[in-house]
Structure 1
């Protein structure tokens, strides 16, 4: 480096030609880049696939960097430099080429995984952890190529990593536990980005992201819940989006003892079928049905209306609208929703009062 500095100070006139060469290459490269990418974007817009779009997006930024490296290389070739300086600059340019290609390949791999993972059913969930693993793999390959180019043997490095691996594993036990737990969850496919899950400890929400340390849930209150991956892997959880997003919804309905169970069943089914095409989230198939469960209550006949909703959050609005429709139908058809009725026995001073007659039971119930 001292030789290069001394040479430039003593012979500053020689910088004129390299500077001119560098400027010409940059201007020509920028013009060619604009012309080339404009035509490539028009061509990509006419194709149906997304491979060309991903490739252009990955190359758009680094292409200007490659032009600068080419300009510097041609500029150094246009002037006489000491052999050591020429060899040093050539090695620096080679390192820059390898680093830039590694960055491009890393970006291309992440974009391809993100696109394909969102398109293929059952593919690896596209989370931050998945993208980080893909980027780490490409960067590792690039680092091996760079070390090989520089003539550095990787065998001692691997030996040192093997010896220090145990100490690192013990020091980063919790971190590695979260890392491998997140990797396992991503590979298993039981927790995916966008799924609504509920843990046995009570936390629930949509899976917003999964990184190397934790999984982020977005609750219905629009808050983030951060759960360590190791805790998530050990927890008993319910995934409301697997094996499909459709789920059953049970709505309890109570009527008086004088109601006809067959009539109540038909009324509830008719209201649910009529609402299937009007209430968002309520599905017409499978057909709604009613069961006389739990059955005989203390002061009512208890039924359960069972229908299907599109996904977990649809149940709230569906219950809201269905209950209003059922209430209006009951009021129109004269079907009573009973009040709780109780029979009270009064204790006398010297003993119990005689139990009331059957007529008094009816009077108490009607009251």
Structure 2
């Protein structure tokens, strides 16, 4: 009876110790996970950096998982002493550890890329993150195959032998993939840039993926352009080398106008618009450049400066309204179409020439 109780107690103790060890590692893992996460976020608040938050997000749950796997390995190897079972459990836990660290590496890699984007050193695109994830996933798969004892050399031989066929079958996708990588390497365009293609499409670049670049039109529609097309086509990037840009608006006044006065009034209105309208560059002095004389009018361009491509529309809208209103106040008459018309009036026998006459429906005809 006593021996039976001792055996039962010994069995319960052998079962309890691994379970207690597993529970202890779980508690320690949870505690350590919380401490590390809060410490990294506290570092962010103190330093004003973002790296702590990125690391905390990537490590969240991974520390607990690592402790859990370690505790499970201790508990199982203590409970089971059979070599076959121990080896199987060891391989399983190792595979789970490889998967955990592969996921952690992928999150850290993409996190550092996003931090670099925030500092303006790298382009934030899906293709870059996807390429990094694919590389890390490949390393993880190769590691898992090695853990399971699967030879890699035959697989590499098959891939090498069929490389020509694979290349031909994937020629178009690979072309677009490498074109996307080239876009990143050359910084030709970045997400957020406003571009115009030679074919006429224009809009904001929203993303560069492994095959396609997505452009959002001003109408909020999305067009997808293959990366190879973006690389080979002539395009205008309105955000390079800087987002600020000049806008030119054409006007015309009657030829008898005081051009010095017209220029001064126009510059005053332009300066007012630059300082008061959102999107204008407040310290920029507008320019007036007369361009020609034709049809009894003097044509000229007014040059303003805006903060980005989209700002040109409200700035030009407000400038035209204010300028025409100021012209009306100070007596400057914008030009209307004028044509020289020559004819003859018969008065008895003599023929008398007349003209030119102004052809403008909004003004009364000359008598």
The corresponding residue for 1:195 is 193
CA deviations 1:173-192 (Å, max 9, x no partner) are: 11111111111111111111
Which of 160, 169, 173 aligns to 1:175? It is 173
**1:293-332 alignment to 2 at 5 Å?**
293=291, 295-332=292-329
Distance (Å, rounded) in 2 between the aligned partners of 1:45 and 1:240: 36
Q: Does residue 1:29 correspond to 2:29, yes or no?
A: yes
Residue 333 of structure 2: aligned partner: 336
SS in 1 for 2:321: helix
Gaps of 5+ in 2: 1-10
Distance in 2 (alpha carbons) for counterparts of 1:72 and 1:129:
38
CA–CA distance in structure 1, aligned partners of residues 134 and 344 of structure 2: 81
Distance 2:85 2:329 in 1: 96
For structure 1, which runs of at least 5 residues remain unmatched after alignment? 1-10
Partner of 2:356: 361
Q: 1:21 to 1:180 in 2, by over 3 A?
A: same
Deviations 1:302-324 (A, max 9, x none): 11111211111111111101111
1:313 is paired with a residue whose SS is: helix
Cα distance change of structure 1 residues 172 and 355 upon mapping to structure 2, 3 Å threshold: farther
Instruction: Provide TM-score, normalisation by structure 1.
Output: 0.85
How many angstroms apart in 1 are the aligned matches of 2:359 and 2:42?
83
Pick aligned residue for 1:255 from 253, 256, 278 = 253
| Equivalent pairs, count | 348
Query: What per-residue deviation string (whole Å, max 9, x for no partner) do you get for residues 23-79 of structure 1?
Result: 454345334433553344334432333332221111003223223322321220231
- Does residue 74 of the first structure (1) align with residue 74 of the second (2)? yes
In 2: Cα distance, 1:114 partner to 1:303 partner? 47
Please give the alpha-carbon distance, in whole angstroms, between the structure 1 residues aligned to 2:359 and 2:204. Answer: 50
Residue range with higher mean Cα deviation, 316-325 or 333-342: 333-342
Aligned equivalents of 1:269, 1:54: Cα separation in 2: 50
The one of 227, 235, 256 aligned to 2:233: 235
| Match status 1:118 vs 2:113 | no
Tell me the distance in 1 between the aligned counterparts of 2:309 and 2:108.
35
> Is the aligned partner of 1:290 residue 2:285?
no
8 Å Cα contact 1:216-1:227 kept in structure 2: yes
**Alpha-carbon shift at residue 169 of structure 1 (Å):** 1.2
The answer to whether the 8 A contact 1:219-1:225 is kept is yes
Q: Which range moved further: 25-34 or 314-323?
A: 25-34
Alignment-derived partner of residue 271 in structure 2: 273
RMSD between aligned residues: 2.9
